[in-house]
A = this chain, B = another copy of it.
Amino acid sequence: MTAKTAKTALTPSTHTTPPAKFSHGVRKGNILQVAGQVGFLPAVAGQAPTPAGPTLREQTLQTFANVKAILEEGGASWDDVMMMRVYLTDVDHFAEMNEIYNTYFAEQDLKQAPAARTTVYVGLPKGLLIEIDALAVLG
């Protein structure tokens, strides 16, 4: 290519300014990376981020919505996602998360193959049950 491809920060209107010098998502050329999203409700000016909840279902659906908002901000959709990493805090949440996940993606009416996925159990800040990041390739 002749011109340097710029990296663009993706900041949906639903998202607060990140608490550190990172982006909620970035796109450069046909690669789009979504940063780790948690189940924060849409940002309200002057208020600290508040997670949906308290159930796993509410946090998970809000997390999906947050990932999707960043994909769309970058011109992508779930169809373009190659990899999703799901971080849970409790091994007992796995079956329920899978059920929520399956129902959600059945409703998304994917036209391409579903993404690859890794799910592991890690620690997250207090009150957060799930975190998801995603790598998408547009084209």
Contacts and interface: CB of A to CB of B under 8 A. Distances in A.
Interface residues of A, number: 58
Contact of A121 (B1, B94, B122): B122
A34 B83 CA distance: 8
Contact of A29 (B20, B21, B122, B139): B139
Interface in A1-52: 1, 4-9, 19-26, 28-31, 33-36
Please tell me how many copies of the chain the complex holds: 3
Contacts of A61: none
A73 interface: no
A8 B113 contact: yes
Contact of A133 (B112, B118, B125): B118
Contact of A20 (B25, B79, B101, B126): B101
Nearest to A119: B36
